[in-house]
Structure 1
Amino acid sequence: MTYTGDVTRGGEPAVRELAGLTVRKVSVGPMDNNAYLLTCRSDGSQVLIDAANDAETLLRLIGPAGLAAVVTTHQHRDHTGALRQVVEATGAESIAGADDAAGIPVVTRTVGDGDTIAVGDCTLEVIHVVGHTPGSIVLHYREPGGIDHLWTGDSLFPGGVGNTRGDKKNFASLIGDVETKLFGRLGDDTWFYPGHGKDSTLGAERPHLAEWRERGW
């Protein structure tokens, strides 16, 4: 089945096979948060991105293979609702951006710009983007022989950057980091997986960057 990234709460995971990783995407919670389970295809190691809600659903997704770590993209409560339950049930490490850690229920390791997180023999690079929250992180996977993949939390969506609640300083920081650290470094075929809703590519969104900056959100 062709991966589209379309998921509904209570529905089946959307599954995408990459070189090195299997990606499983589900929608959880009343705010339809996306959670992503990454599985190393060589040794079965697993990392969950955003234990947002519905611990039962996430634990069923994780299954008997266990979980090495949960990575939280940012401190907002709709992205951490099941974190403590998942960590307690699996013994997983809990990883978050250093500048958001104080606002997250349980954190055992903090990361910053340029740090790496292992998923078995695969590597995620941490990209720190400031604006939606002070410690928001994006995770970057460079697929061997393939394309780049980004898990963007609430920092980048199809149609714009994340909500900065009318704060002009935060918006300027976020749009600047997204333009420089994501669009400025990576190609149009880069696929990104946001914290809510549909996926997109940098190529589909790039023509609208000036429009986003002009409108201020």
Structure 2
Amino acid sequence: RRLSLSEKSSFKSKTNKHRDKNYVESFVKEFNQIPNNLINGWLEEKSCIVHEYQKNVLKLKHPLINDQNMEMMLSRAAFHVPLEYRLRDNLNTIFSYIKSHYHSLKQLEFTQSIASRVITELHVERGQLKDRIRVLERENEQLRQDLEYERHLNESRIANMNIQINNSQNREDILREALNNIEDVRTIPPLRRQGAFLFEDEVLDSD
């Protein structure tokens, strides 16, 4: 059976939507692959292509149209705007947005570059500090071992000195006891005459 006008309109609308979707997806895919430094030129190129396409479409529909009337028709708000026209408007909007925010984008890129460099420097500094900490820990361990060795060595020396003191004290006690057992012998106090002995009948020189 034949399609009614509403069915034809619905079918045409669905077809146009499907075509528009594919066209936009293709445009977005191509746009995402353009390097940042080439976006401006790419947008200008696409804008010119779309504008020329619009003119060609109008010339096909209106062979006798002049350039002035063509521009008026392109800019007229009530004029039916297909996907290509909307695409051109969107491209112009994007282009204007990029131009108006170009300086801000450059500042953002500069800030990101500085932040990235600072992060890298902090990462390197953190690694250097960790290496320094490991060196200091090894030095502390070596110093601890050296200190422990010196402590044991000093304790051994102190013990040997105490033994020598005890031996000296024992010898002194033995010597004093032996001297006290000798008849007719007395000892001079150490403060008067250290280690000297006098018999009872001996007379000290006056000088």
TM-score over 0.5 (shorter chain): no
Pick 1 or 2: higher relative contact order, CA cutoff 8 A, min separation 6.
1
Task: Say which structure is richer in strand.
Answer: 1
Greater fraction of residues in helix: 2
Shorter-chain TM-score: which interval? under 0.3
TM-score with structure 1 length normalisation?
0.22
